[in-house]
Amino acid sequence: MSSHVLAGFHAVTARLRHAPATIKELYFDASRRDKRMQALVQQAAAAGVKHHGVAAARLDGLAGRLRHQGVVALAEAAALAVDIDEVLDELEDRKQPALLLLLDGVTDPHNLGACLRTADAAGVHAVIAPRDRAVGLNATVRRVACGAAETVPYIMVTNLARTMRALKERDVWLVGTDDQAEAGLHQVDARRSTGWVMGAEGEGMRRLTRETCDELVKIPMLGSVESLNVSVASAVCLYESVRQRLASSA
C-alpha cells in the first residue's frame, strides 16, 4: 500500500491519537528539544510507532511543498482524516478554501448515507457531527452512501458548538439553514472557506448550534411543503458553493 505524507503537528498528533496503527514511520527534527516536540516523540513511542530524529533538510524532502513544522509521518494512503485540523492544515498548504458539512441531530442512517453521497459529489472535504444524537458509520450508512463513506472523512466530535468555535478561529464561515431567516441562500458568499450547518428534519438545529453560526439563511420554498429532507437541503446548499466557486474560477 502506498504512503500518504502527514506534515505538521496538528496532522501528525491527530493521527497518533486516533489511528496510530496507520502510521508507518515518523520523522522529527533532531535539533529540536522543546516541550512540544518532546511530547510528540513520547506519544509516538507510547503508541509503538517507529520514529527517527533527522536533519531539517530530510524533512524538507519528505514533506515537499507541505509545511512540516519539524515533523513528518508516512501513513497508509487509504486512511481518511480523523481530525478536522488535519483536513484544514492540508487545505491551507494547498491554498484551497474549505467546504464542510456539519450535521446536528441526524440520526437516520439513510439520511446520513445520502448526505455522504452528496458530500462526495460536491467535493466536500469533511462531514462533521456530534457523537450524541447522531448515527455512526454502520452498514446501512455505507450501503446508502454508495462508497462515499470510504472517500469523505466523517468526523464525530464530543462538543459540536466547541468545534464550531474552533472552525471560526480558523476562518471557516459557518452558515446555518433556518426557514425563519431573513436572508436567502443565494446571498451567501460561498467562495470562502465555508461550513454549511444542517439540522435534522423537523427539529432543526439545536439552540446553541444555531447561535454559534455566523449567518442564518433560508432555502426558498415555493410550493406547499414546509421543509426539505436534510440530504436534499444539504445538496442545495453545497451546490451553491460549487456554483459560485466554478463561476469565480472561469
Binding residues for S-adenosyl-L-methionine: 199, 219, 228
Strands (E), the chain: 3-7, 23-29, 51-54, 71-76, 99-104, 126-130, 154-157, 173-177, 183-184, 194-199, 215-218
Which residue, 99, 101, 72, 67, is CA-closest to 4?
72
Q: Rounded distance, CA 122 to CA 31, Å?
A: 43
C-alpha cell at 28: 522529527
**Residue 57: count of CB within 10 angstroms of its CB:** 8
Exposure of 51 in the CB half-sphere (CA atoms within 13 A): 24
Residue at grid coordinates 533527522: 54
Annotated binding-site positions:
199, 219, 228
Comparing C-alpha atoms, which of 163, 5, 26 is closest to residue 93?
Answer: 5
DSSP 40-104: HHHHHHHTT--EEEE-HHHHHHHHTTS--TTEEEEEETTPPP-SHHHHHHHHHHTT---EEEEEE
**105 Ramachandran zone, left/alpha/beta (phi>0; psi -120 to 50):** left
